[in-house]
Structure 1
Amino acid sequence: MNVIDEINSEGFTIIENVYSADEIDKLISNIENVGIQNQHKNTYRKSDDLFAVRQFFNEFPQALEIVFNSSLKQIIKTNFGDNYFVTKSIYFDKPEKSNWFVSYHQDLTISVNQKLELDGFENWTVKQNQFAVQPPENILKNCFTIRIHLDNTSKENGALKVINKSHSKGIVRLDNFTSKTGNESICEVEKGGIMIMKPLLFHASNKTTNNERRRVIHIEFCNQQLPNGLNWNEKVEFNLN
């Protein structure tokens, strides 16, 4: 089964060796050197269990060239086409002794530039001066996420676990969801590898138990324009050539 067929069927796929050790080291060095200076910003979240940077490419524009290397460009172009753009980027660092876990959920919100009353757009929230909303399902179905792994990720340090094929059921109310309704996979990914997933795939992560950190760059993509003056808050174009 090829990449796009596996994504459409299972809701996710894992591809190893997308980045060299040198590329990963450059990303980590840049994040650590610049990030320490900017932890006072609203886009940064720091706790004992999690360090996160929202709007990652806005904070680290120099990372764009490394992230969109020839391997990733080829993967995107071959499997999705050349009309996609970045809609959200987040850096996650789950520390060695993190007790942070996330229960099963779907990624149902997008980040936008303002709040507008539009049909099909609901569940508005504002966090750190950023507007988020649940768009119509057809927009979510035209999105995908790439997670770049900066560390070896296993079930012991919070690798994502997913319910295979759950994306095919559309938007599901959490009170109607049970993990027993499908096969569960633990998405272990080696340093330099990526996971591609659909936002409607049910996914979760456990606490860290092996004293090893898990650093991930989470990037969301879409090819849909938003209606009536509503715009993506963090739209980043990139060249696949």
Structure 2
Amino acid sequence: MKSTENSWEARLQTEGFALVPELYPAGQIAALIACVESAPATGPNFRRSQEVFAIRNLLGEVADLWPLLNTPALAALLQALFPAGGHLVKAIYFDKPAQSNWLVAWHQDLMINVSQRAELPGFGPWTSKQGETAVLPPAEVLENVVTIRIHVDDCDASNGALKVVPASHRHGVLPPAAAAALTTEGQVCAVPAGGAMLMKPLLLHASNRSTSPRSRRVIHLEFASVELPAPLQWRERLNLG
């Protein structure tokens, strides 16, 4: 897949994000929804309230979902992103229901989930929550990661579409003051149902409160080709192909 000046590949590199509006047709989206809704929704990886429904370690909790996600269209997208091969490193399901009234402040996605703690140069600080370990890795690890946000519902500014600061991923890991200086204005990324938003973890992004009766359901997948230094391993690693 050859890049052109206006291709999603070129925009992902220069702007830190890109939109792929028709990744899954309506029938496949319906199958994805049915599969997620069949999950038992119990255990520490499930969070359900009036304002949010989320599933962490999504493919571990809903094992039948990956065969539905792994379509030829997604495979072609991943081949373009990682020609030498890659792996999935994180999967989350988010549902921002119609009655939700929470916002997400400007931030970068800096932490990665790993199998264990190991004191290695460039890795830290560390966090541990509900027995799971995460760490801030060196910038070159984050620069290798690409997030694919698959939208189950039409998403715009009224129901919490992401806002981004284009090209902010080029600044590396930003201290709070530097990030605040860049976020005076953001670009809203509207995505139709079945479409995907691709983004770099270091891209500054946020979302407003929902003012619409429509939900905003997203399957959030993170992919990489980089290997972590031993003994670290990606906790949710799934080899592609």
Same fold flag (TM > 0.5): yes
Post-superposition Cα deviations, 1:158-210, rounded to whole Å, max 9, x if no partner, equal: 00000000000111011322265676210100000000000000000111101
**Structure 2: gaps (5+ residues):** 1-5
Separation in 2, partners of 1:216, 1:66: 15
Provide runs of 4+ in structure 1 moved above 4 Å.
Answer: 179-183
Alignment equivalent of 2:148, drawn from 146, 149, 153: 146
Alignment equivalent of 1:14, drawn from 19, 44, 54: 19
Report sequence identity in percent.
Answer: 39
Q: How many residues align?
A: 236
Change (3 A) 1:180 1:230: closer
Aligned equivalent of 2:3? none
Aligned equivalent of 1:69? 71
Indicate the SS of the match to 1:178.
helix
Post-superposition Cα deviations, 1:93-146, rounded to whole Å, max 9, x if no partner, equal: 001010121100000000001111111111211112110000001100111100
RMSD value, Cα: 1.3
Alignment equivalent of 1:167, drawn from 166, 169, 190: 169
Which residue identity is paired with 2:7? N
Aligned equivalent of 2:47? 45
Q: How does 1:188-199 map to 2 (within 5 A)?
A: 188-199=190-201
Report the alpha carbon displacement of residue 238 of structure 1 after superposing the two structures with TM. 2.0
Indicate the SS of the match to 1:196.
strand
Alignment equivalent of 1:29, drawn from 34, 59, 77: 34
TM-score by length of 1: 0.94
Moved more, 71-80 or 144-153: 71-80
Separation in 2, partners of 1:220, 1:30: 20
Change (3 A) 1:74 1:117: same
Which residue identity is paired with 1:153? C
Which residue identity is paired with 1:166? S
TM-score by length of 2: 0.94
Alignment equivalent of 2:224, drawn from 212, 222, 225: 222
Post-superposition Cα deviations, 1:196-240, rounded to whole Å, max 9, x if no partner, equal: 00000000011110111000000011111111211110001121x
Which residue identity is paired with 1:227? P
8 Å Cα contact 1:163/1:184 also seen in 2: yes
Alignment equivalent of 1:59, drawn from 53, 61, 84: 61
Q: Does 1:87 align with 2:92?
A: no
Q: How does 1:112-123 map to 2 (within 5 A)?
A: 112-123=114-125
Change (3 A) 1:60 1:147: same
Report the alpha carbon displacement of residue 82 of structure 1 after superposing the two structures with TM. 4.1
8 Å Cα contact 1:124/1:132 also seen in 2: yes
**Structure 1: gaps (5+ residues):** none
Separation in 2, partners of 1:3, 1:134: 28
Indicate the SS of the match to 2:163.
strand
